[in-house]
Structure 1
């Protein structure tokens, strides 16, 4: 146990679903905080369609496949069930070390991981590995940015994007989040993607909870999420240079200690 417990009795919103929240919540508890697990985002695989079927059947024609998140990895491999894909998989590039770890648990290793876990750095460092006409498969969620695809296309690659999962806010989270905010029962809000911001703000606007929101400390991961928060007019108190939950919590603690 960490002796100083800098988050002592602070109620921290953990915006992840049951399968992803455990390590996040344990980290909050290590520092004395009280994790409040309210998933602001959930994912479901799309039903197989002709476009997806054609991409999966043509895996061996691609030079690279880019997997941008844990969800992308898990969803992509779920389409194969018992089928063996190791003989047809192209070289694999991932955006973050957590994504690489999930990939490793499935028996595969990425051949490229960027130094920073954002799309801009990925393109800058991955681009030189491509030659004109390189075929790249980019599985993604329905709300994903098009930055990687458009940037690599400009570099001369042939990029096939295919939506493999949908992003949505769980219905059961809506009432609970509204009640917690209305009763000022959340001290720290954390955001892991732009979608988590939009989903929370949907509830805030629906229930008129803007004043309650001002009382919360806000931490986030990544410049795109930070930009989304600022676009909503919110103050960002903690946004670390390394885009991990651990560093976000550390950055939040640093802000609290500075305030004290």
Structure 2
């Protein structure tokens, strides 16, 4: 536990699935909170389409490949043949995404200072030449901000959907029960999709009044905008868009007496 950032024994909703929840839960415990894992988002690879198979066969024709999350990395590699190397230069958003690639033996050529699409584009554009071919593997709900900005610069973009995002069925009952009993103190959101899935359940069960005592935290400005659009008051958001910094921003909000 870090006294300066204590979560004061509060229950903290972890919106990630089992594969990605452990490190998040461990951080909550170390910061003095009680993690409650309620996966609001899960991922499944798409069926390998002709377009995807051709893209994988043509990797050597691209100048860059952009990975926006560790889920994208893991899913993309599940389609590759063992030993198949990524020949393009690699750009990522976020330290965790870089770590996932380094663990697979890859060299990452570009990591932005700011871990959101807007910051990535601002920093990455000087590295892009007109006519360069860039591959962006993505989920079915991902924004097209990066591809649109790079196409304006004259790059040739291939976006290929490699996974689908969905709300795990088993999470619905658990969330309804815990919100009804008001047993969640801190709600953390790591993406716009987690917010949409959460609010869909809240609205279906008329649980809006059960959120009034909760502290709401978002990992970055895109999620914060989505939360506010869906009627949530956001109390904490970090300057650096990582889970650890988000938890620190919550603790700081609490310690200031928010």
Using the size of structure 1 for normalisation, the TM-score is 0.96
Match of 2:238 in 1: 240
User: CA offset at residue 89 of structure 1?
Assistant: 2.0
Query: How large is the Cα RMSD of the aligned pairs?
Result: 1.2
Task: Give the aligned partner of residue 20 of structure 1.
Answer: 20
Cα contact 2:64–2:88 (8 A) shared by 1: yes
CA distance in structure 1 between the partners assigned to 2:166 and 2:134 by the alignment = 27
**In 2: Cα distance, 1:234 partner to 1:226 partner:** 9
Alpha-carbon distance, 1:5 to partner = 7.3
2:55 paired with 1:51:
no
* Aligned pairs for 1:1-260 within 5 A: 1-3=1-3, 6-82=6-82, 84-86=83-85, 89-259=87-257
* 8 Å contact kept, 2:5–2:251: no
Post-superposition offset of 1:191 = 0.1
Distance 1:136 1:7 in 2: 42
- Any stretches of 5+ residues in structure 1 without a counterpart? none
Q: Which ranges of 4 or more aligned residues in structure 1 deviate by more than 3 Å?
A: 1-5
Distance 1:80 1:2 in 2: 41
Contact 2:11 2:183 in 1 (8 A): yes
Is the contact between residue 70 and residue 100 of structure 2 (CA under 8 Å) also seen in structure 1?
A: yes
State whether residues 60 and 89 of structure 1, in contact with CA within 8 Å, keep that contact through their aligned partners in structure 2: yes
Per-residue deviation, 1:215: 1.6
CA contact 1:5–1:30 (8 Å) conserved in 2: no
Q: Distance in 2 between matches of 1:89 and 1:208?
A: 51
**In structure 1, what is the Cα distance between the partners aligned to 2:176 and 2:213?**
15
1:81 offset after TM fit, Å? 4.2
Within 2, Cα distance between the matches of 1:155 and 1:139? 19
Structure 2 stretches lacking a partner, 5+ long: none
Preserved CA contact (<8 Å) 1:149 1:161: yes
Structure 2 CA distance, aligned partners of 1:33 and 1:60? 47
The alignment covers a number of residue pairs equal to 258
Alpha-carbon deviations, 1:153-197, whole Å to 9, x = none?
000000000000000110000110011001101000000000000
Native 8 Å contact 2:66 2:91 kept in 1? yes
